[in-house]
A and B are shown apart, each in its own frame.
Chain A
Amino acid sequence: METIKLTIDNKVIEVAKGTTILKAAKGAGIHIPTLCYLHLHDLNIENKPAGCRICVVEVEGRRNLAPACVTDCAEGMVVNTHNIRVLNSRKTVLELILSDHPTDCLICAKNGNCELQTMAQEFGIRKLHYEGEQSTYREDTSPAIIRDIDKCIMCRRCEMMCNDVQTVGVLSAVNRGFMSVVAPAFERNLDHSECTYCGQCVAVCPTGALTEVDHTNAVIRALADPSKTVVVQTAPAVRVALGEEFGLEAGTIVTGKLAAALRRLGFNFVFDTDFAADLTIMEEGTELLDRLTRHLNGDKDVPLPILTSCCPGWVNFFEHQFPEMMDIPSTARSPQQMFGAIAKTYFAEKIGIKREDMVVVSIMPCLAKKFECQRDEFSTNGNPDVDFSISTRELAHLIKQSNINFNELPEEDFDHPMGESTGAAVIFGTTGGVIEAAVRTAYEVQTGKKLLKVDFEELRGMEYIRQATIDFDGLPINIGIAHGLGNARKLLQDIKDGKSKFHAIEIMACPGGCIGGGGQPLHHGDSSIIKARQKAIYLEDAGKTIRKSHENPYIVKLYEEFLGKPMSEKAHHLLHTHYFDKSNETVIE
């Protein structure tokens, strides 16, 4: 490897050719502040438009200052990262950015969690020397995401996520000069765009420009209403991330404290979405085997591969972008919606209340779930199966507001019957988990044999597109996995072109899967956090006594008591759905 010697702040260092000044400095223990720059190393995502100009450094012999994030080191380069010229420039630029930014920090959704605010604090900004007009735009509220674009600092991270990673192509810079801003085409509202509500834009926004629609007050009101029975479900990825909001190390498993906290918040029944994940496997796994058998038996009207359908961002994506392929995904509803449907029928009957008197709240690592639970097809007579979906972050706020000392809570269990789950359900929270769970069940159902080893390491990892062939006792089943919608698009395109060799494909919209969801505690560019959450998910699975969905005793009981068998008419009615061609919804008026 060719190396280069250079001097940064009087330190002689040697780096590989092609290393940027920023990375070289970091390697030498020198912290150069950045704002627009974002590098999710483990996910291979990098945003470096060099637009904020905060990371400028002085390179001796160069006329102007150099942005460290995109300037490659050169042999013999002498770099100063904090002389007066650099410090003055940086501070002036930051003051400029602040001069075009609202100062309502105290009541901003990102208060205390804002990278711009942190930077202003670190730089010791006490006065803005350059004040003037502020660029203002109208606020845009969609079912899941709020765009308060007055707070946009044009870091373009959201744009990079939306276009390069997700290939959804909704967000891009519009207008010129002082009025430039990131927005959907023609400055339309998000709900008139092809937005999937995956929330990855929110996950990377350094300021309060992009935030989730906050439903915590609605939840508090429901909890305070004595006429309502409030049922809560919590998604698998929440338990490995919530601790971060309370200062715990990334990857800390807080399942027990989570259940305790929910109980203290006043929920009448503290259940687990994992229960519904096991149910999903029953339905989706059966559908997979059914389609597979019919296809292999020569029924060419039955398309393969089958695609998973648990991820609402992904559902929105193909409804907008691949409407001609709507017969390929599984018809199984997502765990959130299966939970809601069962809670407001089976469970409501069981405890003897009307569905109107039950409020189902979901805690999700996801923003698309907010949109999903509002879809018309998931309500009965105007009463939604899931009333409110709040994010991991919102739950943390709710706990803090309610004076609950999270870290001191005892470990508690979920309630029965819908709180019981298996290890297969837990791994729904990470990329590769849904398909691994499906394989665990499908294998045993198909072959009638017991799996000796339930860990399918070949399906795990962080690589964007993975594939493995699982031997179903002589029948090789080709499995594909993609996370990040841009990667999903590649697999879809292959199917469209007739090049796909897969029997089943798992797709999750967010890089990393739900653990990297748009509703999770903010990673602020540290992708090791997402890795740690993944590790915790598999740890939680390994610790479970039951690790196959079809062995969940309450699931077995549910079928016995209520549903009959997987894909029965009742199951179809409550647990399956259909998709809509939305490609025309965004036609230019």
Chain B
Amino acid sequence: MSKYKMHVLVCGGTGCHASESDQLLEDLKTIVTEKGLDSEVQVIATGCFGFCEKGPIVKIMPDNTFYTQVTPADAREIVDEHLIKGRKINRLLYVDPENQEHIADSKHMGFYKKQLRIALRNCGFIDPENIDEYISRDGYEALAKCLTEMTPQQVIDEMKKSGLRGRGGGGFSTGLKWEITSKSVSDVKYVVCNADEGDPGAFMDRSILEGDPHSVIEAMAICGYCIGSSIGLVYIRAEYPLAIDRLKTAIAQAREYGLLGNNVLDTGFSFDLELRYGAGAFVCGEETALIHSMEGLRGEPTVKPPFPSVSGYYGKPTNVNNVETFANVPVIINKGADWFASIGSENSKGTKVFALAGKINNVGLIEVPMGTTLREVIYEIGGGIKDGKKFKAVQTGGPSGGCLTEKHLDSPIDYDNLIAAGSMMGSGGMIVMDEDDCMVSIAKFYLDFTVEESCGKCAPCRIGNKRLYEILDKLTQGKGTREDIDSLRNLSYVIKDTALCGLGQTSPNPVLSTIENFWDEYLEHVDEKKCRSGQCKALLQYIIEPENCVGCTACARNCPVNAISGERKGVHIIDQATCIKCGACLEKCKFNAVFIK
């Protein structure tokens, strides 16, 4: 085998892919070959590095150089300068937002410093389309160990001991779920991987499947061994074509190696995987809805119990786990439950992947130990708020979660603390808001999502969320009353109390948490018809400052509804009743006389 002196890792995640990283990869390969370096330099595509804000990412090993926002045009320079002459290209290095220093080694980047990558261990490190690279990172050793050295119950006990809880949002003990399914008596059982990632902005499952598909395959086989199943199904949304391709390639490779199929590792255990495509309905992330969708029925939840562990896919016991949950499994078996349990907080063990988004400098995918504080995540890893604005809130748990504020910044993130604070872990979406965000509008945004994604089966979710949305809309239009806030509250509590599935039971959370934490903003919208962040257009007032107005008439001439009156060379006035808030006057005024109140 030839020995490479250098490895060039090009991110092949969906985000970077969209920014021409595939072309970049091809160009790098071509130029390396052209220069006769192909026996010394290996150029490969990896999964997501997580630092999507600055993609496409190119990492050069062994000197750990981290290039950001690389374009195909940079390929030749990278080869000529870095690969041949060993000179790092300064302009492509990541710049520390605090001290403007160029950071050559990714280890010294704030983004990576606090991270601990377990589920993402191989993302951005191995070629996801090469099973050998996975094996070289202890891949399939956990499966081999389980099959040859452990009984199913021992594996389940190990999982229970590790304290791993479902990463899809529910937070149910994975080991316990496996145990319940293993105890259900049936001729056929199923292992289902829930890859129907639907929270707005969350993409950890996609990244894992794109960057390290074998970890999920291995874990599903281990689960199959534990519960007594020989069939695994991955329910993946059809909007994830790259993840589907990588998964298909990985399954084919695993079959070729005899790690899937009949008689795995010559142990008599058989397990194989099939893919099932979802059409991207948010509610299909709910496990009973997911199962109905796989059965070819309308993606609608049914009441639990019976839980899928007892009666799931076609009435057979079915163990449903999320992608990230599975990705943790092989590491737990390899390194031991004690090691895993030593990471994290009291009741939440291990790490959690979060998708950082919103008004934050380092948008991307991060993995931190449970118990890391929001402050660490937002300020150290996330690099703080964009454009030096003031932090206002962070929304966790997607549309089912709530908005947390300044006062929650130092509380450690884990399942229980987030619930105590009025939000939830969810699948790990984390959207940061700054002073420019209107919290009533934020609540409205999430309700808009829920209204769209409700399956329509139960009345409180189908109609109640629509009414919540309508009331919030009324508030942002400046037509709200105090009674409307009472209505919001009552309706929210009733929906939580009566909705059929998790979607409806949590959909009012953004409303309740914003009312709780931003009561004064709600009151302003209702009592003063004011939106402090200026997001609610209907509540804005364009005003002419008499001292600055010279009476040039530019504003009046450009007003499309003739709302501005005033004599030439005299002070002009905007008639608020006529004004449609188009902003033309503000744009045309050369004397800074028009301002927004």
Contacts and interface: CB of A to CB of B under 8 A. Distances in A.
Q: Do chains A and B touch in the complex (CB under 8 A)?
A: yes
Interface of A: 49-53, 56, 64-65, 67, 70-72, 85, 88-89, 92-93, 96-97, 99-100, 129-130, 132-133, 153-154, 172-173, 175-181
A172 B298 CA distance: 9
Contact of A176 (B456, B459, B490): B456
15 contacts: A50-B500, A53-B459, A64-B497, A67-B303, A67-B500, A85-B497, A92-B494, A96-B459, A96-B467, A130-B487, A132-B467, A154-B462, A172-B298, A176-B456, A177-B465
A52 B505 CA distance: 14
A53 B460 contact: yes
A192 B413 CA distance: 56
Max chain A CB contacts within 10 Å: which of B305, B452, B455, B460?
B460
A178 B463 contact: yes
Given A52-B458, A53-B459, A130 B298 contact: no
B505 A64 contact: yes
A154 B498 CA distance: 16
Contact of B497 (A49, A65, A177, A179): A65
B498 A177 contact: no
A154 B298 CA distance: 14
Contacts of B496: 64
B303 A180 contact: no
B303 A70 contact: yes
Contact of A130 (B281, B453, B456, B467): B467
B497 A56 contact: yes
Interface in B394-442: none
Contact of B498 (A53, A132, A175): A53
Contacts of B505: 64
B456 A56 contact: no
A176 B491 CA distance: 21
B479 interface: no
B300 interface: yes
B470 interface: yes
A72 B505 CA distance: 20
Interface string B453-481: 11111111011111100110000000000
A180 B456 contact: yes
Given A92-B491, A96-B467, A176-B452, A49 B459 contact: no
Contacts of A89: 494, 497-498
Nearest to B463: A96
Max chain A CB contacts within 10 Å: which of B305, B471, B500?
B500
Contacts of B360: none
Contacts of B463: 96-97, 99-100, 130, 178
Contacts of B281: 176
B494 A93 contact: yes
B143 interface: no
Given A96-B467, A178-B466, 19 more contacts: A49-B457, A51-B500, A52-B459, A53-B459, A53-B498, A53-B499, A85-B497, A93-B460, A97-B459, A97-B463, A99-B463, A130-B463, A132-B470, A133-B470, A177-B455, A178-B454, A178-B456, A178-B465, A180-B457
A425 B298 CA distance: 44
Contacts of B458: 50-53
A56 B494 CA distance: 11
Contacts, number: 110
Given A130-B491, A133-B466, A51 B457 contact: yes
B410 to A, nearest CB: 28
B451 to A, nearest CB: 5
Contacts of A52: 458-459
Contacts of A177: 451-456, 462, 465-466
A173 B454 CA distance: 13
Contacts of B470: 132-133
Nearest to B496: A64
Contacts of A93: 459-460, 464, 494, 498
A53 B500 contact: yes
A52 B471 CA distance: 22
A178 B451 contact: yes
Contacts of B459: 51-53, 93, 96-97, 153-154
B500 A173 contact: no
A176 B283 CA distance: 10
B460 A173 contact: no
Nearest to B299: A176
A216 B455 CA distance: 39
A176 B303 contact: no
Nearest to B467: A130
Max chain B CB contacts within 10 Å: which of A70, A129, A130, A180?
A130
Nearest to A92: B494
A331 B463 CA distance: 50
A96 B500 contact: no
A51 B467 CA distance: 18
A130 B487 CA distance: 8
A176 B450 CA distance: 11
Contacts of A130: 463-464, 467, 471, 487, 491
A65 B498 contact: yes
B485 to A, nearest CB: 13
A163 to B, nearest CB: 10
Max chain B CB contacts within 10 Å: which of A53, A64, A100, A180?
A53
Contacts of B491: 92, 130
B186 to A, nearest CB: 19
A89 B490 CA distance: 9
A70 B501 CA distance: 14
Nearest to A130: B467
